[in-house]
A and B are shown apart, each in its own frame.
Chain A
Amino acid sequence: MSVTTQVGFRTFIPQPSMAPPLEVSGAAHWAKQNLFNGWISSLLTLLGVLLIVATVPRFLNWAVLDAIWSGDGEACRVDGVGACWAYVGANFRILMVGIYPVAEIWRPVISFVLMLAVIWLTVSGKVKGTRMLACWLILPFIAYWLIGGGSLGMPEVDQSRWGGLMLSLLLASVGIIISVPLGVMLALGRFSGSPVIKLLCVTFIEIVRGVPLITILFMASVMLPLFLPQGMDINNLLRIQVGMILFSSAYMAEVVRGGLQAMPAGQFEAAKALGLNYRHTMFYIIVPQAMRHVLPPMIGRCIALFKDTSLVLIVGLLDFLGMLKTSTQDSNWMGFEAESYVFGAFVYWLVCYSMSRYGQHLENSGPQNKH
C-alpha cells in the first residue's frame, strides 16, 4: 500500500502563497496609514498639499522655467521673466573673493582647492586622529599666507581687499581652529582648584555668553583701538577676527564643560590611582574622551560660527553677505535683490547643512555606539 492511497491523506501540492490583503500593503495602505489616518490627519494632508500646490510650482517657474541664465541686466528687465541668474554669473567673482586683484585670483582658488582636499580626506576617512587635526590646523595658516602674499614673489594683497565667501570661510575657519583650544583651556579653568583662575574664566565665559555678538564686534572695531598704546595699530579685519575668536571660545568652553561633567568620576580616580598628575590626567585621560563626547555639539557651534560671520557686515567688512548686499547696488544690476539673497541663502544652506549631516553621521557612528 502506497502512502498516497491511504484514507485520510492527500498528496501535498505546494501552492504559491497568496498576495497579502490589500489593507496591509501597497501604496493605498501606506497612504491610509501615513496620510489619511483619521480625519485630523486627512485635513492636515489636504492643507499640506494645498500649500505645496500654491508655492512649489510658482517657485519652480520663477527659479527654473522662466529664469534667465545669461545676458546682462537688460535681458532680465523684460516683463514676465523669472529669476535672473545671469546676475549671479556676472557677479560671481566679487561674491566669491570680493575686490581681490583679478591677476592674483589663483591664490584664493588654490586655498579653496586645498580646503576641499582636506574636507575630502576627512570625510572619506583617509586621514584620522592627529594627522587630520594637523591638516585642519595648518590649512588656515597656509590660506592666510597664500591670500595675503608678500613672500616668494607673490605681491602683497591688503586685507581691505579681501571679501566675499573667501572672507567668510577664513573668518570661520580661523575662528573655529583657535577657539577650540581656547575653549578647552577656559573649561579646564572653570574646574581649576585656583579661585583666581576659576573666577576669571567664569566671569569671561558668562559675560561673553550674556551679550550679543554684535556688541563684541563693535567693541573689537571701535573700542579696542582705544585700549592699545598710541601708535600701535591693528587692522580692522584682525580686530574683528579676535572678537569672533573670543566670542566663539566662550561657547566652546560651555560645550567642553558639558563633556567634562559627563566624565565618570572613576576616570579621575583611576588616573589618580595610577599616580598621574593633573596635567597628565587631563591631557591623556579626560580631555580626549570628553572631546569625543562633545563632537556633535561642537559641530553645531561651528555651524553657528559660520552663520555668525555674516554679522561682520554691520561693522564694515564685506564678507559673503556684504558682497551680496553691495552687488545689488551696482547700477547695472539694480533690482535683483531676490536673486542675490536666494543664491546667498542656498550657499549658506549648503555649507551648514553638509556640516550638520556630517555631525549626525559622527553621532551615529560615534564612540558611544562602539562599546
Chain B
Amino acid sequence: MSKQFTTRSRAGHQFSLQLLMQGAVLALILYLAYSVLQNTQLNLEARGIDSGFEFLNREAGLPIGDSLIHYEPTDSYSWAFITAVVNTLFVASLAIFFATVIGVLVGVARVSSNWLVNKLAAVYVETLRNIPLLLTLIFIYVVVLSSLPNTRNSWQLTESILLNVRGIYFPKPMPMEGFSLVMIAFVLALALCWVFSRWARGYFARTGRELAVIRISLLMLIALPGLVYLLMGQPLDWQVAQLKGFNYVGGLSFRPEFMALLVGLVLYTAAFIAENVRSGIQSVAVGQIEAAQALGIAPAKIMSRVTLPQALRVMIPATTNDFTSLVKNSSLAVAIGYPDMVSVGGTIIGQNGQAIEIIGMWMAVYMAINLIISALMNWLNARVQVIER
C-alpha cells in the first residue's frame, strides 16, 4: 500500500517536473522570439529599411527576361513576384514530366538483361547523382549552350525547329476560327473515355471479359478531335520564327537560361528517379514473377499486373521526395539568371532591402507547392497500396 503510494507520488512529482520543463522551454522560446523581434525592429530602423508588405503595390521597375504571363517593368512588385512564381511552376512542372519519363526509361534499363544497356544506364546514374546539380547547371549553361552556333548559322533540327545560341525556336500554334470546336471535341473524348473505362470495369466484373480499354481510349482521343479538325478545314496555323536583322522573331522561343535549367533539372532528377524505379522493381519477390509464369501469364501482363503494382508501392514515396526536391532545386535558377522566384526575389531584396518579407514569401510558396505535390502523391500512393481485409 505504502509502496504504491510512493511510486504514485513519484509519478506525480515527475509529471509536475515535466510540466515545469515544458513551461520553461516555452518561456525561453517566447523570450527569444521577443528579443529577436525587438532587435529586428531596431536594426531595420537603424538601416532605414521599411517593413510590411506595402512595397508590393509599388512599381517594380525590374525587367524579367522570360515571362509566361504579360509583364512590364512598370507593373507592381506583386505582379513581378507572381510572374516569377509562374516561371518556377512552369519549369518545375515540365521538368517533373520529362524527369519521370527519362527516369523510368533509365530505371528499366538499369534492370535490363542486356549487359550494355544496363551498364550505360549505371554510368548515367552514377555520374549524374554524384555531381552537384549547381555544377551541372553551370556546365550546361556556360559550356554546352554557349557553344551553339550563332543566329545566322542556326541548326535546323526539323524544318521549323531552330536551335542557336540565343535559344530554341518552335513553331507557335495560332488557333483560327473554329478551333474551339476541336478543343470541345477533345474534352468530349476525354469524358467519353472516362465513362467507357468505368463501363468496361463493370463489364469485366459481370462477364470476366477484358476490353482493350487503353487502345480504344487512345483511338477516341485521337479520332474525335482529329475528325472535327478535318471537318472544320484545319483551323490551326503554325507561326514559324523568322530571321529579322540579327535575331529570330515570332514562334515559340525559349531562352538558353530556361533550357539550361530544364535540362539540368531533368537529367539530375531522372538519375534519382531511375534509382527508385530500379529498387522498386528489384523489391518485388522473385516468387511472385515465377508464380505468374507458372500460371502461364504473358510477360507483358506479368509486368503490368504483377511486377509494376508491387513495385509502385516502393517507388512512389521515394519519388515524391524527388519531385519536391526538384521544385526546391529549381531555385538554383538564380545562379544562371533564369527569373524564377528566388532570382526575382533576390533582385527585390537588392532594391529595397526587405529581406524578411521576401524570404517569408519564398518559404510560403515553396511550402505550398510541396504540400500540394505531397497531397497528390499521397493520394496516388493510397491507391496503389495493398487493401488488406
Interface residues of A (CB under 8 A from B): 33-35, 37, 41, 44-45, 48-49, 51-52, 193-197, 200, 207, 210-215, 218-219, 222-223, 225-230, 303, 307-308, 310-311, 313-314, 321, 324-325, 337-338, 341-342, 344-345, 348-349, 352-353, 356
Q: How far is the CB of B324 from chain A (nearest CB, A)?
A: 8
Q: Tell whether, in the assembled complex, residue A321 and residue B331 are in contact, meaning their CB atoms are under 8 Å apart.
A: no
Query: Which of A48, A193, A215 is close to B117, meaning CB atoms less than 8 Å apart?
Result: A48
Query: Which of B29, B131, B139 is close to A352, meaning CB atoms less than 8 Å apart?
Result: B131
Residues of A within 8 A of B22 (CB): 194-197
**Complex alpha-carbon distance, A222 and B112, angstroms:** 49
Q: Tell whether, in the assembled complex, residue A225 and residue B43 are in contact, meaning their CB atoms are under 8 Å apart.
A: yes
Residues of A within 8 A of B132 (CB): 307-308, 310, 321, 348
**Is residue B304 within 8 Å, beta carbon to beta carbon, of the partner chain?**
no
**Complex alpha-carbon distance, A344 and B332, angstroms:** 18
Query: Which of A37, A219, A310 is close to B135, meaning CB atoms less than 8 Å apart?
Result: A310
Q: A35-B114, A37-B114, A218-B359 given. 16 additional CB < 8 A pairs?
A: A34-B116, A41-B112, A41-B113, A41-B117, A210-B363, A212-B331, A215-B331, A218-B362, A227-B40, A307-B133, A313-B335, A314-B332, A321-B138, A325-B138, A341-B139, A349-B127
Instruction: List 16 interface pairs A-B (beta carbons < 8 Å), by A numbering.
Output: A44-B114, A48-B120, A193-B18, A194-B21, A219-B359, A226-B44, A227-B39, A227-B43, A307-B130, A307-B133, A308-B132, A314-B335, A341-B139, A341-B142, A345-B135, A353-B130
Residues of A within 8 A of B113 (CB): 33-34, 37, 41
Residues of B within 8 A of A223 (CB): 355-356, 359
**Is residue B25 within 8 Å, beta carbon to beta carbon, of the partner chain?**
yes
**Is residue B26 within 8 Å, beta carbon to beta carbon, of the partner chain?**
yes
Residues of A within 8 A of B332 (CB): 214, 311, 314
Residues of A within 8 A of B346 (CB): 218
Q: Which of B346-365 contact A (CB under 8 A)?
A: 346, 349, 355-356, 359, 362-363
**Complex alpha-carbon distance, A211 and B40, angstroms:** 22
Q: How far is the CB of B132 from chain A (nearest CB, A)?
A: 4
Q: Tell whether, in the assembled complex, residue A45 and residue B143 are in contact, meaning their CB atoms are under 8 Å apart.
A: no
Q: Name, among A196, A210, A325, A342, the residue most crowded by chain B CB atoms within 10 Å (CB to CB).
A: A210
Residues of B within 8 A of A352 (CB): 129-131
Q: Tell whether, in the assembled complex, residue A341 and residue B135 are in contact, meaning their CB atoms are under 8 Å apart.
A: yes
Q: Tell whether, in the assembled complex, residue A41 and residue B114 are in contact, meaning their CB atoms are under 8 Å apart.
A: yes
Give chain B's interface residue range (CB within 8 Å of chain A): 35 or more
Residues of A within 8 A of B43 (CB): 225-228, 230
Query: Which of B39, B133, B355, B366 is close to A218, meaning CB atoms less than 8 Å apart?
Result: B355
Residues of A within 8 A of B42 (CB): 230
Residues of B within 8 A of A213 (CB): 328
Q: How far is the CB of B351 from chain A (nearest CB, A)?
A: 13
User: Which of chain B's residues has its CB closest to A228's CB?
Assistant: B39
Q: Tell whether, in the assembled complex, residue B328 and residue A212 are in contact, meaning their CB atoms are under 8 Å apart.
A: yes
**Is residue B96 within 8 Å, beta carbon to beta carbon, of the partner chain?**
no
Q: Tell whether, in the assembled complex, residue A212 and residue B131 are in contact, meaning their CB atoms are under 8 Å apart.
A: no
Residues of B within 8 A of A324 (CB): 135
**Complex alpha-carbon distance, A195 and B332, angstroms:** 37
Contact A196 B25, CB 8 Å, known A338-B143, A341-B138, A345-B135? yes
**Is residue B115 within 8 Å, beta carbon to beta carbon, of the partner chain?**
yes
**Complex alpha-carbon distance, A7 and B198, angstroms:** 80
Query: Which of B120, B134, B363, B371 is close to A215, meaning CB atoms less than 8 Å apart?
Result: B363
Q: Which of B115-149 contact A (CB under 8 A)?
A: 115-117, 120, 126-127, 129-136, 138-139, 142-143
Q: Name, among A33, A51, A218, the residue most crowded by chain B CB atoms within 10 Å (CB to CB).
A: A218
**Complex alpha-carbon distance, A278 and B183, angstroms:** 64
Q: Tell whether, in the assembled complex, residue A348 and residue B362 are in contact, meaning their CB atoms are under 8 Å apart.
A: no
Q: How far is the CB of A169 from chain B (nearest CB, A)?
A: 14
Q: Tell whether, in the assembled complex, residue A210 and residue B367 are in contact, meaning their CB atoms are under 8 Å apart.
A: yes
Q: Which 5 A-B pairs have the closest CB atoms?
A: A352-B130, A212-B328, A34-B115, A307-B132, A212-B331
User: Which of chain A's residues has its CB closest to B365's CB?
Assistant: A211
**Complex alpha-carbon distance, A314 and B132, angstroms:** 14
Contact A345 B131, CB 8 Å, known A200-B25, A211-B362? yes
Contact A337 B131, CB 8 Å, known A194-B18, A227-B39? no
**Is residue B163 within 8 Å, beta carbon to beta carbon, of the partner chain?**
no
**Complex alpha-carbon distance, A67 and B99, angstroms:** 34
Q: Tell whether, in the assembled complex, residue A44 and residue B117 are in contact, meaning their CB atoms are under 8 Å apart.
A: yes
Residues of A within 8 A of B328 (CB): 211-213
Contact A214 B334, CB 8 Å, known A34-B113, A35-B116? yes
Q: How far is the CB of A293 from chain B (nearest CB, A)?
A: 17
User: Which of chain B's residues has its CB closest to A44's CB?
Assistant: B117
Q: Tell whether, in the assembled complex, residue B130 and residue A356 are in contact, meaning their CB atoms are under 8 Å apart.
A: yes
Contact A48 B116, CB 8 Å, known A215-B362, A223-B355? yes
**Is residue B56 within 8 Å, beta carbon to beta carbon, of the partner chain?**
no
User: Which of chain A's residues has its CB closest to B367's CB?
Assistant: A210
Q: How far is the CB of A165 from chain B (nearest CB, A)?
A: 13
Q: How far is the CB of A30 from chain B (nearest CB, A)?
A: 8
Residues of A within 8 A of B117 (CB): 41, 44-45, 48
Residues of B within 8 A of A227 (CB): 36, 39-40, 43
**Complex alpha-carbon distance, A40 and B126, angstroms:** 25
Q: How far is the CB of A354 from chain B (nearest CB, A)?
A: 9
**Complex alpha-carbon distance, A303 and B356, angstroms:** 31
Q: Tell whether, in the assembled complex, residue B331 and residue A214 are in contact, meaning their CB atoms are under 8 Å apart.
A: yes
Q: Tell whether, in the assembled complex, residue A210 and residue B366 are in contact, meaning their CB atoms are under 8 Å apart.
A: yes
**Is residue B78 within 8 Å, beta carbon to beta carbon, of the partner chain?**
no
